[in-house]
Amino acid sequence: MKKTIALCGAHGTGKTTLLKLLEQQYKLTPLTRTVRTFWEDSGVVDFEKLPMEVRNIFQKHLLLNQITQEDEAWKNGFITERSVLDYIGYTVVSSDMQGVEKRMFEFLVRERLRRYDVFVYLPVEFPAKAEYLRAHPGLQKKVATVLELYLSEWLEPHQYCIARGSVKERFSQIQSFIDGDNQRY
């Protein structure tokens, strides 16, 4: 069985750029555009203009869509530019899910998070640019704060890599982590 690699981070942190480099290096199936394709197929033009109850439904479907794609690729390994953790970050910031529903969502994400062979977090190091079907640039740091909180609660520092710096530096840090160095950056 090949490795499963998940890249995590708010929008505009370089996940897609690094996915392309890692895909070439490790010859893994890429899972890309999972959110954008789902929104496009559903006719969503601006997620933030949807009513809260619709956002909640979409967040659930987005998570299940991600899990389905991962399950289909699991045997042969994959690299994904969006981890299940990303969905809880965006759910907390852009929906009003709460109570039992939120706890169930968190439980599913937490359990699934532990299945990745390699987990990489990309912190915000530069502001996101406004772009079609991308969350508002102002939400970038809010999402990152939520992701970092869950990471610190759900994983031990040695279980994931925090990659910082230029694309080349991040790529090198991730390679070292994947290839067994497993030190936190």
> So where are the chain's domains?
4-139+157-181
For domain 4-139+157-181, the question of CATH label 3.30.70.20 is answered with no
Report CA torsion sign: 149, 106, 125, 155.
positive
Q: Mean per-residue pLDDT for 75-80?
A: 94
Q: What is the pTM of this model?
A: 0.88
pLDDT value, residue 165:
96
pLDDT value, residue 132:
53
Evaluate whether 113 touches 83 at the Cβ level (below 8 Å).
yes
Evaluate whether 9 touches 121 at the Cβ level (below 8 Å).
yes
Q: Mean per-residue pLDDT for 176-180?
A: 90
- For residue range 92-148, list pLDDT tens digits in order: 988 888 899 999 999 999 999 989 999 999 999 987 776 655 567 778 899 999 999
159 forms bridges with which residues in the sheet?
none
Residue type, 76: N
Which DSSP string do the residues of the chain spell out, in sequence order? ---EEEEE-STTSSHHHHHHHHHHHHT-EEE--HHHHHHHHHT-S-GGGS-HHHHHHHHHHHHHHHHHHHHHHGGG-EEESS-HHHHHHHHHHH----HHHHHHHHHHHHHHHTT-SEEEE----SPPPP-TTS--GGGHHHHHHHHHHHHHHHS-GGGSEE--SSHHHHHHHHHHIIIII----
